[in-house]
Structure 1
């Protein structure tokens, strides 16, 4: 299955339709999630240690994590498929930058980011298109740049037709951490951490987090993951 233009448009329109309700639902969501907040802090420290380049929050929604990254000292900006979400984030955090865009084709220069966060946004990408997405993430990260992914753990896929009492059309896909890690390695990333958190009170499944790094330049400017013993 591929995420064709029709599915992409339906996902965009669905999040537009529920932007206000979704923003209200997640506004304080991280308050009771100390483990997740600690992982964001670790991500920020890793980005700063590598030069503190710009960080893209891909699939940023209403900007609830973008502002957190900014408060952790990162030059963070948000990208989201939904114009409604982007407009809401701009109103809420007018001092931050938010752009419309798709993770399947990011409007960013090669090697332009110090970090990239996709926090529960890869869940709408069909499983067979993850290599394309991870290759795109690798392209826009600078050498040494840090990637962080958040997702629900599992083998299920499904479709949501109603949210907040409104008609929507959104496909979703759960992830197996080991499989995601293998795909990231194939895309050229070095794995740093794979973690699984048990479900919280309002969660149906375990939650996964992965951190990976685009290799720094190695011998004679060749990426380390391509350098063999000489």
Structure 2
């Protein structure tokens, strides 16, 4: 037991590593705060294009995009953008490569969630909104999208949680997020305790969100059961 505690829960290493890991933790937070809104906005545009466009070609192109990036591993995408594109267009800043990879990947997931939410709204609501004099854009903004977003709120939150966890792959291009900070400290102290501490910080961040997700899913199930 003493060997286990020394290797994985070494309090002295925890104290030494904590300042470095908190710096990486902050990077994880602001990186998530950057890519989640961008991915959600891009996904919403894709969902609107898929559900509202009258062009078969536009809808088909969006479906191809969504299917491709949902199937393409985000780690491979990040490596391609950061290490592959420089041969064509020159070096990409780390932040730009990471943000672009995350947005391209997660927009496809957000698009499917928003599309499912829009599909839950009866067609008659759009027609009723248009009959009051609202334009299609106004009806979408004021009538359809608020209801659609509420219907898929658990799925949107679930996507956000996955994105926060996904930020760990930014370490492969040297982005100083939480996992990268833990690995750097581990290489100095020759002890895996910094990785354990990083896991505890991830848990402290994500546990409240997962509990909120469970409550939202429970409320959604109750609402559907009483509908």
What TM-score do you get using the length of structure 1 for normalisation? 0.24
What TM-score do you get using the length of structure 2 for normalisation? 0.25
Report which of the two has the higher share of strand: 1
Structure number with the bigger relative contact order (C-alpha 8 A, sep ≥ 6) is: 2
Q: Which has the larger radius of gyration?
A: 2
